[in-house]
Amino acid sequence: MPTVLVVDDDVQVSELVAVVLKCEGFSVLIARSGEEAIDVAQAHLDGIDLLITDIVMPGIDGVATARAIQAMIPNLPAILMSGACNLSTLEAARPASYLQKPFTPSRLVQLVQGLAGTPRAA
């Protein structure tokens, strides 16, 4: 079962993403900050298949968080999400995928399945 690390300082957003993905058969780890996400990734180096992170967060932003985690887990696909993002931030984040907030559960699942695959039935 693919594992997704979800990083967002907004509890409602991270919980919504987790519920949607768990309903689709994914395993989910949650972090509330870039710093916490890096610690979680360090503890699960062989167990994370996809990173989803908010771009705008206090402390370490989502782009820096993704870079730090991808340095530990090479070739880890990432989805950066934001409700307010400028073009230069998106350019700096490449090759990560981008998910505009607000998004529908179906759009989230479609993007996650495209990057992490479809979970096998238990």
Indicate whether 120 belongs to any domain: no
Indicate whether 53 belongs to any domain: yes
Range of the domain at 14: 3-111
Per residue in 21-74, pLDDT (tens digit) is 999 999 999 999 999 999 999 999 999 999 999 999 999 999 999 999 999 999
List Cβ<8 Å contacts ≥24 apart for 11-16.
13/54, 13/101
Split at pLDDT 50, 70, 90, the class of 1 is confident
Q: Provide the domain count of the chain.
A: 1
Indicate whether 118 belongs to any domain: no
Q: Is 14 exposed, middle or buried (0-12, 13-18, 19+ CB in 10 A)?
A: buried
CB 2, CB 117: distance < 8 Å: yes
* CATH assignment at residue 29: 3.40.50.2300
Mean pLDDT of 111-121: 82
